[in-house]
């Protein structure tokens, strides 16, 4: 079995550094998540559009901020993951 290119401690440290760096942006994510739930319940004519855009924004954020900026420090494959997240997020916001 092939070993991961990082240790568990390095992996957990990425979470710590990421969460400290984006503080207090987590509250914006919670707010947007709440908006998505409200839009699902409301079921208006444009709800689906806004839901897709918000989820697309989350995917792009994870691609750029988490994968490319933070996770790539310990795993070069994160550039590929990040690019795929960005592509999918851009497609979701159409």
CA-angle at 24, arms to 87 and 91, nearest 5°: 15
pTM score, whole prediction: 0.90
Task: Tell me how many degrees the CA angle 13-29-88 measures, rounded to the nearest 5.
Answer: 85
pLDDT per residue as tens digits for the range 2-11: 888 999 999 9
Report residue 82 as tokens: 């990040």
Task: Specify the pLDDT at position 39.
Answer: 97
Q: How high is the pLDDT of residue 86?
A: 98
Tokens representing residue 54 in the block: 């918000």
Q: What is the mean pLDDT of residues 70-91?
A: 97
Give the end-to-end CA distance of the chain in Å, rounded to a whole number: 40
- pLDDT tens, position by position, 21-78: 999 999 999 999 999 999 999 988 899 999 999 999 999 999 999 999 999 999 999 9
- Pair of tokens at residue 15: 């979470």
**pLDDT number for residue 64:** 98
CA dihedral 41, 47, 48, 51 (to 10 degrees): -80
């Amino acid at each position: 079995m092939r070993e991961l290119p990082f240790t568990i401690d390095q992996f957990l440290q990425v979470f710590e550094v990421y969460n400290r760096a984006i503080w207090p942006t987590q509250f914006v994510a919670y707010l947007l998540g709440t908006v998505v739930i409200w839009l699902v319940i409301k079921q208006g004519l444009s709800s689906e559009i806004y839901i897709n855009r918000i989820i697309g924004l989350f995917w792009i954020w994870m691609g750029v901020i988490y994968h490319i900026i933070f996770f790539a420090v310990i795993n070069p494959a994160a550039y590929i993951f990040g690019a795929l997240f960005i592509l999918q997020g851009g497609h979701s916001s159409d």
